[in-house]
Structure 1
Amino acid sequence: VLEEKKIANAKEAIKWEVIDKYNVTAPKYKKILDIVIVKEELPKTKLGKLRRFMLKDLLKGSNLIKGTPDEIVPEKEVEKRVSTSKEINTQEFKAISKFIGTLHDEIEIIPESHLEIDLGLDSLDIVEIITFIQNTFGVDISEEDFSRIKTVEALCQYVREKGGNFEEKEINWKKIFEEPVDLKMPSSKYVIPITTILKPLFTWYIKLEKNINKLEKTSPVIYIGNHQSMLDAFAFGQALPKDILKNTYFLAINIHFEGKIKKYLAENGNVILIDVNKNLKETLKIAAKVLKEGKNLVIFPEGARTRDGELQDFKKTFAMLSKELDIPVVPFAINGAYDLMPYGKGVPSSGKMSITILDKILPENKSVEEIVKVTRDSIEKSINN
C-alpha cells in the first residue's frame, strides 16, 4: 500500500493518516501514544491469538524500542546483526552507510537494514541521502523512486545500475538554495483585512496577551513557534504590527486549504502551500527563495499541532535555512491556545492565550543541531514559566 501511494516515510504516514484520525474520537485512556514498526510477524498462538507477553522480546532487535521505563529493553541486550551480503564490501555501501551514520549517531547499518524501520530515516533524512547520492555518484533519484527502495542493499544496487562516477563530496545546501525554483509569491491583498476582521475575536472572546517588546523590524527573519491549535497563525498575525505582517509569509500544508475559497484566500493572504509528501527538497528551495527576497517566514517546526499539550520535537528544516542563508531565528511562545482549542475541537472556547516574542538567535558559530536546541529550549522555558 505504501508503495502504491508512493509514500517514502511509512511511520509518518501511519501516524498522521491512521492513528491520528482514530485518536481524535477515542477516549483519553484508549488513545495511541506511539508506534513501533517491525518487520517480523507478531507472535501468535495456533488459533491466531496475539501472544502479548512475547512482544517485548520481538522488540529487542529494533532500534525503535519504546515504552515505559521498566519495559524498555536495555541497549546491551540488543543483539548485533551480522550480514552475509557481499554488498558490505562494495564502494557504494561503504560510502552510503558512512553518510547515513552522520545523520544518526551510533546506529548499526548493514546491507539488509530497512531504510525506515531499522534506520529510522525521516523525510528530511531521505532528502539528504538523495542529495548525497546525486553529489557523490552523479545519480538522480526522485522521492517517488526512493519510496520503492526499501533497504540499504537495494539502494546500493540502484546506484550501481544507474552508473556514474564516484567522487565523495559534502552537500552544499547554500548552492542548492540558489537553484531556480518555480514559485509565484502570494499577494498580501487580504492579509490586513483578515487580521482586522478577526481582531474582535482576539480582543473580547479570546483575550490575546501580546508580549512583543523584543520584536525588531529587521528583515528577513525566520519566526519559529510552538504549535498548540488552529488559532496559532491567526493569533501571531494579530501580534505583529501591520508593516511587518505584510512582509511576513506562512508555510502551510495544502490539505488544510482544500477548496476554491480557502485556496484563493491563501494565495492572497501570504500563505505558501506545500505538499509534505512530495519533493521536500523543492519545499526547502521555495522557503529559501522567500527569505532571499527579503521576506520573513513563519514556520511551526513541530510539523503539526500538539495532540496532548506537550511541546514536540522540532524538525531541523528551519535551522538549515538559518545556517546556510545566515538569517536570524526569532522564537515565539504560544501559551493557552491548547486549552481553548485542542486538536479535534471545531470551535474555540472563550478564554486567555498569549504570544511572547523571545530573544533573537543568530546562526553564527552554531551548528544546525545547536540552532534547533537553542530555539526549542527558549520556547520550552517560556511556556513552562
Structure 2
Amino acid sequence: MKLVELHTKADRLTGSYYLGYLVYQNEDLTVLIGLDDDANASGLILVNNQDLVGMVEQSPSLAYCQRLIDEGKSTDPFQLMPVNQELLKGNLSNFFEAGKAALFKKLPVNVTLNNGVIYSGIVTEATLEELRIRQIDGNFALDRIHSVIPMKQISSLEINSALGKMWSEYQDSDIAGNPYDLVELYLDWLDDDRFGNYLLGRVLLEDDHYLLFESINDYGQLEAICLVNRDDIIHECTASPVIDFYSFLLTRNQEAGIFDLNKLDHLAQSLDHVPSPLEVLQNAGQQLVSVDDYAAPVEMTGYIQGLTDSEVYIEDPVTGQVAPFAIDRICTIDLASSELEKMKEYLAAQE
C-alpha cells in the first residue's frame, strides 16, 4: 500500500490534512488506514472524492512518517489494526455502509463536514440520505439530542480512532476521583484562540516562581516535562469530567506500557530542584528548545541563536526566522518533550 497525504476542501477551514496508507479508491470514496502524528496506526479514514482536492506521495510530512517507519518506530500502540482489518473485510463503499458498520459495531466516529464543522459521537441511525449521531460532549458524555447530518455534506468520516476506542472503554470503567493528582492549569494567554485552553498533568516539584510539570497529551500519554510560570496561572482545577477521563487513560496506558513512549520520566526523576528558565536555556546548548510566551499565538520551537540574562533569541528551523523572547515573559518551557523528539525526526527526514 502507498503512503499518501490527502487534502480536502474542508482542510482550508480546519487547517488539517490526512496521512495514511491508501487502501482503495472508488468513484465515491478514498479510503486510508490513517497514521497519527507519530506515524502510528490510527483508524480508517473515508474521504468524499467530491471534496478531495489533492493526493500526494511526496511531502515533508510523508518524509517524516517514512523515516519513522524505516526506523521501526511506527507501531500500533492502541491496537487499532485488528478492527481496521475486520472493517475492511466488509463493505465500506460509501458513507451509508460505513455508518451501518459503526452502528453495528458500536464504534464512535469523527465526521467532518464540507464547511469544516466536526461531529464526534455514536451513530444511532444510518440511511442513504443522512446519519444521526449522538455527539460526545465536553464532559465525555453523550448528548441527548441526535444530530442529523446529510450524507451529501460529509467531507470525511473516521471510524475506529484511538480516542474513540478509549472513550468506549471508559464507559465501562469504574475509576473515579483523582488518583494521580491531575490538575488543569489555565494560563493568561492573550491570544483569543488560546485563552481558555489549559495544560493537563501533574505537579512534580515547585518553588515560589515555577512549577515542574508533567504534561499529558490528548491520548493520556506523557507529553512533556516542562516549567510553568506561576505568575501566568489564572485558574486551577482538580475535579472535573476531564480529569476523570484522563485518570482512566493514565491507568489504561500505564497498564498497556504506552504511557511514556519517549522515556521522559527519567529526566524528572533526576532533578532535585526546580530549574529556572535561564538554567534550562543554558543547558540546552545546540539542542532544540521549545518556549511559550503568554502573548504569543503559538509555542516556539527552534535553536538558540543568542542568550542573555534577560532575553533569548530562537531561530525557527524551518523558516530561519529569529524571534526574541523576554525570559521573564516565558510562561512555559520544555525540559524534554515528545514534540521536541518529533521535530528532531522531522528535520532529519528533510535532509
TM-score (norm 2): 0.29
Higher relative contact order (CA 8 A, sep 6+): 1
Structure in which a larger fraction of residues adopt strand:
2
Larger radius of gyration: 1
Q: Which has the higher helix share?
A: 1
